[in-house]
């Protein structure tokens, strides 16, 4: 399945860079939109973002100047279960070439990440529910001061927060940054950050990191300078005692 990408560019997380020519979230990633702009202007050949061993690749072609992304295992095109039409997208291959992370933004304000294991007839989507549930438990959005009621109900399971794959710790361990969107609609929980190292074979969390630990361990791989957020503001408290940092 091919995914059509929107050519428009927009800023992403408040905690991330508004624009980067080569990188958006990860210094090791390849930003599709930066390459697209150059190739559309030059009307050049399709873009290939190869895995480290060159056995697999992400290919970006054009249809009426609209970029189309596909995933190949060798010469075989795999079904790619992506959803939405991203405004920006970054590709990050694992060291062993058997997994690829795709981080994108559908709105230009929030972002998501999807990690695929390359094999079989289609790319296998790695479950991120463990990370999402941990974020929802660590930062119960409905307990934040001044959170909008609609947001409270829509985001209480954590799947609407911001997620980005920023690095690979090894061939099967992806490093994910998670953030509650930096918007006043998120109330007292806005901008809170956690980091996760997950096993892509199962999606299970191997290491959970506070924002400070994430910065200490992985700032060198981030495409921007991670700011440590202020403690969350809770409805019944003026400190972060109920939400450990």
pLDDT score, position 154: 87
- The answer to whether 26 and 222 have CB atoms below 8 angstroms apart is yes
pLDDT score, position 209: 98
Evaluate whether residue 149 is within a structural domain.
Answer: yes
- The answer to whether 14 and 184 have CB atoms below 8 angstroms apart is no
Evaluate whether residue 227 is within a structural domain.
Answer: no
pLDDT score, position 228: 95
Q: What is the DSSP track for 35-48? A: HHHHHHHHT-PPEE
Total structural domains within the chain? 1
Evaluate whether residue 238 is within a structural domain.
Answer: no
Virtual CA dihedral for 142, 144, 148, 153, nearest 10 degrees?
Answer: -10
Evaluate whether residue 239 is within a structural domain.
Answer: no
pLDDT score, position 83: 54
pLDDT score, position 111: 87
Evaluate whether residue 160 is within a structural domain.
Answer: yes
DSSP 155: H
CA-to-CA distance for 175 and 177, rounded, in angstroms? 7
pLDDT score, position 143: 92
- In the structure encoding, which two tokens stand for residue 79, read together? 């079904």
Q: What Å distances lie between residue 10 and 25, 115, 221, CA to CA? A: 14, 23, 22
pLDDT score, position 55: 94
Low-confidence residues of the chain: pLDDT under 50 = 1-21, 41-42, 238-242, 244-245
Does the model's pTM come out above 0.85? Answer: no
pLDDT tens-place string over residues 41-75: 445 567 889 999 999 999 877 666 666 778 999 88
Evaluate whether residue 237 is within a structural domain.
Answer: no
- Give me the domain span that covers residue 45: 3-221
Evaluate whether residue 230 is within a structural domain.
Answer: no
């Amino acid at each position: 399945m091919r995914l059509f990408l929107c050519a428009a560019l927009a800023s992403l997380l408040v905690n991330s860079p508004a624009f980067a020519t080569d990188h958006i979230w990860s210094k090791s990633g390849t930003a599709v939109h930066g390459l697209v702009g150059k190739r559309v202007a030059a009307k050049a050949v399709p873009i290939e973002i190869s895995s480290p061993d060159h056995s697999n690749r992400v290919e970006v072609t054009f249809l009426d100047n609209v970029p189309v992304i596909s995933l190949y295992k060798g010469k075989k095109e795999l079904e790619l279960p992506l959803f939405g039409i991203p405004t920006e997208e970054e590709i990050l291959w694992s060291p062993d070439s058997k997994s690829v992370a795709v981080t994108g933004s559908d709105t230009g304000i929030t972002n998501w990440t999807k990690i695929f294991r390359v094999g079989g007839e289609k790319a296998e989507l790695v479950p991120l529910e463990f990370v999402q549930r941990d974020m929802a438990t660590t930062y119960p959005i409905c307990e934040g001061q001044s959170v909008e009621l609609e947001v409270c109900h829509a985001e209480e399971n954590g799947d609407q927060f911001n997620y980005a794959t920023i690095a690979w710790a090894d061939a099967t361990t992806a490093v994910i940054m998670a953030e509650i969107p930096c918007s006043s609609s998120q109330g007292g929980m806005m901008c809170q950050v956690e980091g996760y190292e997950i096993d892509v074979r199962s999606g299970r969390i191997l290491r959970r990191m506070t924002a400070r630990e994430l910065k200490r361990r992985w700032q060198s791989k981030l495409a921007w300078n991670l700011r440590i957020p202020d403690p969350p503001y809770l409805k019944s408290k003026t400190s972060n005692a109920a939400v450990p940092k």
